[in-house]
Structure 1
Amino acid sequence: MRLNQPRVHPLSNDGQTPEQAEVLASLGGGGVIPAGPVLNIFRTMAHAPSALKAFLTWGNYILSKRNDLPAREREIVILRTGYLCRSGYEWTQHVEIGLRCGLTPDEIVRLKAGPEAGWSPADAALIRAADELNADHFISDATWAALLSHFTEKQAMDVVFTAGQYTQVSMILNTFGVQLDPGQTLDPDLRKT
């Protein structure tokens, strides 16, 4: 975590504007996000309810079946991007989602090590693409060709869309100081250094 306390505090249930209450009422009720309390990311972003509504539209594309990457592969890109961005909140949320989508605990650990950590060629291409997008905001010709040898062109596009979305999410989380939700534990590799 970059910050030990929030810069922008999550909204409580009291004192929300009607627009904030409306956007928050639609969250935390199923799908990829388990039913339960509204997550701190959304309570924080609700300070700008119009931005949160727009954010949710694109985010829902990334986490839906309209994104042609299979869920496991999508989570590889999200987790590697979150790790590279040093986003403890993002990593923590998506470790749970990644496990539900078919990643193993060993794969979660190996995601930190990168594309040379014993991955299949297809998985290594996804991780390498996330690495290149993080470092240079560009996928090299060799990595693009590797992606296309395992995935459709639309799926390769969705790799870029997914990494871009979760780079933005990580910037939001890190800068606003969004703290973990109750009951979550920060991975020691993502503690502030």
Structure 2
Amino acid sequence: MSTSRIAPVEPGTRPRLADIEARILAARGRITPLYRVLLNSAPVVDGWEAMLTAIRQKTSLAPRVRELVILRVAVLNRAPYEFEAHVPHARAAGLLDEVIEGLRAGAAPDAVRGLDAGERGVLALTDTMTRDIEVPDAVFEPLRVHFDEQGLIELAATVAAYNMVSRFLVALRIGH
């Protein structure tokens, strides 16, 4: 098992980070290994926390949809730490173990049992944005039945944000 490529910052050891650490604790309840590495750059951790707090706590997306996206991106980007970190959130959001295990196995959107048509569309969008980047109309347009303009923006932003998170974790070997 490898260790992080960047040494984590022990919370409370750098007085100039006290305000940022307090915001992270208030938003998340703890400072995870990811945030301990991010603390090496005050501007990055500050912006990261603001953006990810908006994505996770302030959008109109149903928590179930958000966690579906996060788990799928983690699998596609080979980020098991991210996947495991979000399994409790996914369960709390109502995703059943059969869905979680289908995602863990990398099943195609139509093969994940326990999802409705909108959720399968969310997985198709997530797969396409993550693997191909460019999203054809055939993938995007069916989502309009399930999401308004705000929801579509928030959905695409969630997929994009968690691609950033998982790729950062993998590149820096955080949580390995």
Contact 1:5 1:179 in 2 (8 A): yes
Query: Are the aligned partners of 1:9 and 1:44 in contact in 2 as well (CA < 8 Å)?
Result: yes
Task: Report the equivalent of 2:32.
Answer: 39
**1:109-134 deviation per Cα after TM superposition (whole angstroms, max 9, x unaligned):** 11231302133211110000000001
For the pair 1:113 / 2:70, whether they are aligned, the reply is: no
The equivalent of 1:124 in structure 2 is 120
Q: Contact 1:28–1:38 at 8 Å: present in 2 too?
A: yes
Matched residue pairs, number?
172
| 1:47 alignment partner AA | N
Q: Which runs of 4+ in 1 moved over 6 A?
A: none
Aligned to 1:151, what secondary structure does the other structure show? coil
Q: Find the partner of 2:62 among 59, 70, 73.
A: 70
Conserved? CA contact 1:24–1:43, under 8 Å: no
Identity between Structure 1 and Structure 2 (%)? 24
The answer to whether the aligner puts 1:94 opposite 2:86 as a matched pair is: yes
Equivalent residue number for residue 4 of structure 1: 2
Residue identity opposite 2:8 in structure 1: P
Query: CA-to-partner distance for each residue in 1:41-83, whole Å, 9 max, x for gaps?
Result: 1111000011100111111110123x12111111111111111
Secondary structure of the residue aligned to 1:38 is: coil
Partner of 1:12: helix, strand, or coil? coil
Contact 2:12–2:18, Cα closer than 8 Å, also in 1: no
Match of 1:85 among 77, 96, 101: 77
Once residues 39 and 108 of structure 2 are traced to their aligned partners in structure 1, the CA distance between those partners, rounded to angstroms, is 34
Contact kept, 8 Å, 2:11 with 2:36, in 1: the verdict is no
Q: Mark the runs of 5 or more structure 1 residues left unpaired by the alignment.
A: 181-193
Greater fraction helix: 2
- Cross-structure match for 1:175: 171
1:26 match: secondary structure: helix
How far apart are the structure 1 equivalents of 2:16 and 2:80?
29
Deviation of 1:14 after TM superposition, in Å, equals: 5.8
State the distance in 2 between where 1:14 and 1:64 align.
25
Q: Deviations over 1:136-173 (max 9, x none)?
A: 11222011111111221221221110011001111111
Indicate if the aligned counterparts of 1:68 and 1:155 stay in contact, CA closer than 8 A. yes
Higher relative contact order (CA 8 A, sep 6+): 1
What is the rounded CA distance, in whole Å, between the counterparts of 1:13 and 1:160 in structure 2?
32
Q: Give the structure 1 partner of residue 136 of structure 2.
A: 140
Alignment partners' CA distance in 2, 1:163 and 1:49? 24
Which TM-score applies when normalising by structure 2?
0.90
**Structure-2 separation of matches of 1:137 and 1:128:** 12
